Amino acid sequence: MASDIPLNWFLYFAAASFSIGLVGVLVRRNAIAVLMAIEIMLNAANVNLVAFWRYRNAPPGAGPLPGVILALFVITVAAAEVAVGIGMILLCYRRWRAADVDRYDSMSG
């Protein structure tokens, strides 16, 4: 089934969603949206990892942890990041009464 779809398709998809995520990080003002964009980037990488795991043969001496395992770990890491991120955003929101990342610029130079 998956072999019907060429590997490149997955890669194009991953690259595209990665770019979408990156652009989101760069242009969205709302901190929560930025957080979501970061999630998209992480998931793009996950798509890559799983696709490569499925399509590529591991060379001799490859470690015990293939890409798919990393993808699983990344999901948990992303969850942790979201938790931490939401906490931070709340902290800032309490002080600035705003969740816009471009408001937080008291330090510069």
Partner 1 sequence: MDPNLSNVDFRDFWQLAPATVLSVWGLVVLLADLALAGRMSAPARRRAIGWLTLAGVALALLAAAGLIQVQQLAKAETQGTPGWLSPSLAEYFSRAGGAIFLGTLSADLQTGVLNVLFIIMLGLVVWQSMAWSFTEDWGEYFALVTWATVGMMLLAASEELVTLFLTLETMTICLYLTTAFEKTRRRSAEGGLKYFVYGSVSSALFLFGLSLLYGLTGTTQFESIREVLASTGPAARGLSGNVTGATALLLMLVGFGFKIAAVPFHQWAPDAYEGAPAPVTAWIATGSKLASFVALMKVFLHALQPWSHPSNELLGPGWLGVIAIVSAVTMTYGNFAALVQRNFKRMLAYSSIANAGYMLVGVAAASVSTRGAEAAGSVLFYLVVYAFANIGAFAVAAWLVRDKKTDDIDDLNGLGMQSPLLAICILVLMLSLIGIPPFAGFFGKLYMFMEAINQQHAKAWPTLMGLVALGLMNSVVSAFYYVRVLKAMFLREPGGSRRLGLAGGSIEIPIVIGTLVAIFFGIYPGRLMSVMQGAAVSMLTTTTSTSGGFASMISAPSGTGYAPLPPAMASAPASPKSTRLDPEQAKKYADRMKKAEAQAKALASPGAQPKNAPPGEAKDALAKKAEAQQEDQ
Partner 2 sequence: MSDFFVRVSHFSFVQNVWMIPCLPLLGALIAALGARRLRSSSHVPVVAGIVLAFLVSCGALFSTNPTEAPRVAGWLSISNLEVPIEFRVDGLTTMMLSMVTFVSSLVAIFAVGYMAGDPGYPRFFALIGLFVFSMTGLVLSNNYLLTYVFWEGVGVCSYLLIGYWHTRPAAATAALKAFLVNRIGDFGFALAIFWLWAVVPGHDLSYGNILNGSTLAALPEAAKLGIPLLLFWAATAKSAQIPLYVWLPDAMEGPTPVSALIHAATMVTAGVYLIARSMPLIALAPGVQVLIAVTGCATALLSASIALTQNDLKRVMAYSTVSQLGYMFMGLGAGVSDVAQLAVVAAMFHLFTHAFFKALLFLASGSVMHAMGDVIDMRRFGGLRRRLPITHLTFAVGGLALAGIFPFAGFFSKDEILLALKSASHSAAGQGWGWVYLLIYWVALVTVLMTAFYTARAYFMTFWGPEKLPSPDDPEAPRTEPGSGHGDHEPHGASQDETHGHDHVGEESPLVMTLPLVILAVCALLAGIVFGPTPRFEVLARSIFGLTHPFEHHLQKTFGWELLGHGEHGFDLATAGISTVGGLLGIGLACWFYATESSIPGWLATRFRSLYEASFNKFYVDEVYDWVVVKATWALARICEFLDIYLVDQLVIGIAKLPRKLAKDLLAGYQNGLIQFYAAVSALGVAVLLFILLLF
| Interacting residue ranges for partner 2, rule: CB under 8 A | 22, 25-27, 34, 101-102, 104-109
Helices (H), the chain: 7-27, 31-55, 67-96
Closer of 1 and 107 to partner 1 (Cβ): 107
Q: Which of residues 7-36 bind partner 1 (CB under 8 A)?
A: 11, 14, 18, 21-22, 25, 31, 34-35
Quick one: what does residue 61 bind among partner 1, partner 2, none, with the CB cut-off 5 to 8 Å set by partner type? Answer: partner 1
* All residues at 6 or more sequence positions from 2 whose CB lies less than 8 Å from its CB, including other chains: 54
CA separation for the pair 97, 109 (Å, rounded) = 24
CB of residue 101 vs partner 2: minimum separation in angstroms?
A: 5
- Give the 3-state secondary structure of 1-27: CHHHCCHHHHHHHHHHHHHHHHHHHHH
Quick one: what does residue 24 bind among partner 2, partner 1, none, with the CB cut-off 5 to 8 Å set by partner type? Answer: none
